[in-house]
A and B are shown apart, each in its own frame.
Chain A
């Protein structure tokens, strides 16, 4: 559906996007992740034809952005960050204007506006001016704007930034609903959001793609490393350290501070394991042979946050 090759963009001397290659399939919900200033917005702006790439190419279906940007714009709906709309206009007038520009005929225009007002919950604010709306409603107007011509591709830059938790859930539901039939590309720096809505995640750092895959693959690919927490009673620190270290694959055993108000002979430890297989069975068998009492034993789930931090940490 979308084919991006060696996409690069400079602002003066600053390289905001550096040699990005990306293939986006039809019907995918793609999340573009990255710290602030990583080049997410610049990438989206180039995809939507707002900015010209310094070099590289973008193809949407059979159209190239250099020659047929008008055709590409017809296929795309775009919601820029924080929905910058005309503040003086009434919501209805604005949607009417967008429908005109998008070339909808009279009948289709009315039915689309009605449908989008229902979908985005705009019925009650249809005759208010956009400047008077709360941020959440403005975002929804922006969403309705983006979906006016029922575009095949929907591009959204931080669609939930600045919204309250209820609104976030609502917008997410809308996105997921659209994503069933359309190709959706959204950028965010909220990881839980990407995890909740996206089929595929691309992490960008300093203008380069550092990871690309589904949430699960990303979690696994970040090195076969995981952490196990253990809490023992009646155990000696040195002895326990020695015993656990002897297991093949346990790379590190570190004592962790006790929780406040806990009695003296409880030992908390964190085991860093570097092994493709699950070591929990072996650890348990090891402990069973001693007279220690096992109080807690759990594997820390690797979250997307870990992966993100590892990949985007500045050296």
Chain B
């Protein structure tokens, strides 16, 4: 394109058309990218629900599995996943939120805390099967918890803590520092400031992080593989030292390990797991949008 130099302030009509075309193509490209990323999510949900919903019944949700899991319900797996989620939360939430408060509100910016932060980031990147092996070695064998809810919850908690720490710390840091300074200046102690000003403001963000972390824990298979999950255990756990069935592992088992498995039971199990996880997601979304509407800064 060789054109004679023209005065810079005058835009040639042809150039304008060209620019508009590029502009429009770029815009269409970006929209396509957005749409394409949404398609798989919609497909997964539609696919799973359309195949799995017919299998859902009161019996499916509340009965023990029968006939080598080929009939009956998945009640113990549902209860097991609930136990694991609650257990993971009971361990990971206080530790994770506590660590986040320390890092955000108390820790000085020095080599030591930088090391802690790097460790947390790396912890989040460890493959989940490695957590599973670690849990087997430490909790199941060394601490002799056996394959049990406590061993599984501890393993899932270690996996979840980095998520909770980083989202909570982010939520705490988002609270304007001027609030802290004002609270201190009217005679507040550091802890009073955290408890009465910082934590209430950060709570929606912290809750969102907690739910997203627990949701991931609820859906994971590898960490519970060696630490808690039973192949087939048609009884409910009586204590945290019992093994249990759990939805993700049950889904893995009935999809790969059991010959002659009715397909709708597989999809039905997937529907229950997906509903559980999406439901937690929905709660997190509601909390976040409510908090945003109420926020005063």
Asked if A and B bind, the verdict is: no
Q: Taking beta carbons and an 8 Å cutoff, which residues of A are in contact with B?
A: none
